[in-house]
A = this chain, B = another copy of it.
Amino acid sequence: MTKPQTTRKKRANGVESRQRILDAAVEISGERGYEGTSIAAVSAACGLPASSIYWHFKDKDDLIAAVIERSFDTWLAAFELPDEESGTPLERVTAVAGNVAKSLVDAPDFLRLGLMLALERRPAEPRGRTVFLQVRDIARAKIAEMAASLVPGLDEESVQILTTYAVAGADGLFVQREINGDAVDLVAMFELHAQLVYDAATRMAARRTA
């Protein structure tokens, strides 16, 4: 009544504000890590005052955790194994690797922040770190499942070792690209990685069966 509800540009819009804050936070925390991300910087980047950030998020820890949580699904989606008819096991593994690589090239902030959180050892572990490691474990489980289903005959220990190795290669190649930029063809390297791991897996399985 007091204020006619014409299509105001700047109507209070909680959802949109939250998004803007998160967008700013992903970028900054992806570049500068946990400690390097100041509320003031996020505020400046999203155009909302610092106190508004505290309306949407309990505290800084909560904000960083939310950043991780938001990328959650997108990230895990890349790990879906294509249908059986879509090709040979190797082709299917390679396809997954390529997808993951592409998603990393497109949105590197998630993993960059995640790895920084993972490497840090601070007295009070940030919740974002916990969340990231959980997501990581889910991804790991998916890979282990892939290995077991695509390369029959692998014992559990081999699956674990191969999975660890697969994840390590992915992380390492990502780091490589972060350091050397476009000089590293991430998709190609991921595909090579997939192939080497697949080869190793089949050889391991063969050795065991023999």
Using a CB–CB cutoff of 8 Å, the interface residues on chain A facing chain B are: 31-36, 112, 115-116, 118-122, 133, 136, 161, 164-165, 167-173, 175-176, 178-179, 184, 189, 192-193, 196, 199-200
B contact residues around A184 at 8 Å (CB): 164
- Tell me whether A168 and B172 are in contact (CB under 8 A): yes
Taking a contact as CB atoms under 8 Å apart, the answer to whether B121 and A31 are in contact is yes
CB-CB nearest 3 A-B residue pairs:
A172-B172, A168-B172, A35-B35
A119 to B116, CA, bound (A): 7
Interface CB pairs A-B, < 8 A, 30: A31-B120, A31-B121, A32-B35, A33-B33, A33-B120, A35-B35, A35-B36, A36-B122, A115-B115, A115-B119, A115-B175, A116-B116, A116-B119, A116-B120, A118-B175, A118-B178, A133-B179, A164-B176, A164-B184, A164-B189, A165-B169, A165-B192, A167-B176, A168-B173, A168-B176, A172-B173, A172-B175, A175-B175, A196-B200, A199-B199
